[in-house]
Amino acid sequence: MSTSFVRLISRLLIVCLIGLPFQVNAGMIGTDEVVSAAQAQVARATVLSQISRADVAGQLQSLGLTAQAATDRVAALTDTEVAKLAGQIESLPAGADAGSLLLLILVGVLIWWLVVRK
Amino acid sequence: MASRQEVIPAARRAAGKARVRAGFFLAALAALCCLGGCISLPQSEALRASPPAGLPPRVELTQVPFHLQDDFLCGPASLAMVFNAAGVSSASVESLTPMVYLPGRQGSLQAEMLGATRRTGLVAYTLAPQLEDVLREVAAGTPVVVLLNLALKLVPVWHYAVIVGYDLEKREVIVRSAKRARDEWSFGFLEFFWQESGYWSMLALAPGRVPATAREADFAAAVAALEQAGRRLEARESYRALLARWPDNLVGLIGLGNVEYTLQDMAAAERAFRRASEAHPQSAIAFNNLAHVLAVLGRLADAESAARSAVALEGPALPEARKTLEAILARRHPP
């Protein structure tokens, strides 16, 4: 009993420690906004935008789009958005369907609980 | 929060006293965690402490249709819902998938959600990262697309959903998500999954509409992006709305002038650039563009003086301003 409680408490503490940085982030909202506004102005002035556009269009193509579709899509983005996408298309959030994945998460939570219960 | 949910049914099933006690202990710890900041939900807590003023207690935009989504298509489905609500009745999951879905990522990128909105002729506007702003937009009749992370920070599962209503008393939002046309989520539940996207949310606005929570510079940039995407008529309408609210906005004045210029309405373009040069006498771009329009109108003496003002202001627009002046001088004094 006591060992399982110790385990339980240590697991929860780990979760708490991982969670702590969020608290800090949540208070820091205002600064991001100021920075991004300033960045947007700098980005608009850069001559590099055409190069990044071709670059991003190429990356979109490698992820399954036709050349035409990729060019059309990039044309609808701002310089700031293109700059953000360049080189990061693989890692930026891509929203997908939740139905089956939610089930996976529930199963994961169940397993986690079973482990904790032991 | 999540841990509390899974503990209660399990504890009920458990036979041994110890298990029940452990369950209670875990639930108490989870509750403590919530209170103590392990799962910190600052925005929902702030809303609980001081409900936002001036909002109707309950709003539901029942007119926002639901689009069922197949695997991985929450991006196109969410957009279809908000596009329909913005008056683009032809938008559907099928029509939007080629504009926003990225097969190699099995999902849709945020930037492309904005891009597809512009290609549809709507203003794509990202909100400030505040739950209260989302509620204000819903109260003003605009459904909001939010980006959620349903899994862990390290193994994210990103998902778009559409907020179509809220209830301040029950502290709930009404959501269309995945295969469910109407869900009620507590503010805390939403915030828990919403946090990791940096509280990202977007609107799709019909031309001429200004968001309830619009910030001047951001809305101006959003309209300029619509112009850049080639939707000039829609951008013109939104520039006018922007200027009705903020008459001296430089992006708005220059943008409106440029749109009028490309649409060949030189009188309107002149008015816009003149207002820009009066409200912003330091803007070389305003004088440079004014000079162009005056030259097209054949008023070369006025054009020359505007071009000279642009050159005198120097700055990053100087090379263009010099070219403008040279072209006007060449026309005034042909060799």
Q: Flag whether pLDDT at A22 surpasses 50.
A: no
pLDDT digit string (tens) for B294-332?
A: 999 999 999 999 999 999 998 888 888 999 999 999 998
Determine the average pLDDT of the residues in B48-63: 93
Chain A hits for B106, Cβ within 8 Å: 94, 96
Q: How far is CA B318 from CA B94, B315, B325, in A?
A: 47, 6, 10
| pLDDT band of B130, cuts 50, 70, 90 | very high
- Cβ atoms A106, B150 nearer than 8 A: no
Give A54→chain B minimum CA distance, Å: 16
What's CA A103's distance to the chain center, in Å? 21
Across chain B, what does the average pLDDT equal?
88
Minimum Cα–Cα distance from A17: chain B residue: B38
Determine the average pLDDT of the residues in B119-133: 98
pLDDT digit string (tens) for B180-216?
A: 899 999 999 999 999 999 999 999 999 999 999 999 9
Backbone angles phi, psi at B213, to 5 degrees: -105, 25
Burial class (CB in 10 A: 0-12, 13-18, 19+), B167: middle
ipTM (interface predicted TM)? 0.82
Determine the average pLDDT of the residues in B49-75: 91
Rounded Cα distance, B255 and B227, in Å: 8
Q: Flag whether pLDDT at A7 surpasses 80.
A: no
Contact B102 A12 (CB under 8 A): no
Q: Flag whether pLDDT at B16 surpasses 50.
A: no
Residue B21: what pLDDT? Answer: 47
Q: Which of A22, A37, A45 sits opposite B40 (nearest CB)?
A: A22
More confident residue, A21 or A115: A115
Q: Flag whether pLDDT at B137 surpasses 90.
A: yes
pLDDT digit string (tens) for A85-103?
A: 988 998 999 998 766 556 6
- Tell me A89's DSSP state: T
Give A10→chain B minimum CA distance, Å: 12
Residue B250: what pLDDT? Answer: 92
| pLDDT band of A111, cuts 50, 70, 90 | low
Q: Is B174 helix (H, G, I), strand (E, B) or coil?
A: strand
Rounded Cα distance, A102 and A107, in Å: 9
Q: Beta strand B58-60 with B158-167: parallel, antiparallel or unpaired?
A: antiparallel
Residue B99: what pLDDT? Answer: 96
- Cβ atoms B274, B306 nearer than 8 A: no
Determine the average pLDDT of the residues in B83-111: 96
Binding-face residues of B in 143-172 toward A, CB within 8 A: 147, 149-151, 153, 156-161
Burial class (CB in 10 A: 0-12, 13-18, 19+), B19: middle
Q: Which of A63-72, B31-40, B144-153 has the highest mean pLDDT?
A: A63-72
Identify the CA nearest to B66 among candidates B80, B45, B48, B46: B80
Q: Flag whether pLDDT at A117 surpasses 80.
A: no
Binding-face residues of A in 49-88 toward B, CB within 8 A: 60, 62-65, 69, 72-78, 81-82, 84-85
Residue B223: what pLDDT? Answer: 94
Identify the CA nearest to B83 among candidates B119, B120, B112, B114: B120
- Cβ atoms B100, B112 nearer than 8 A: yes
Binding-face residues of B in 243-272 toward A, CB within 8 A: none
Please name the helix (run of DSSP H) or strand (run of DSSP E) that holds residue B109, with its range, or none: strand B107-109
| pLDDT band of A108, cuts 50, 70, 90 | low
Contact A62 B74 (CB under 8 A): no
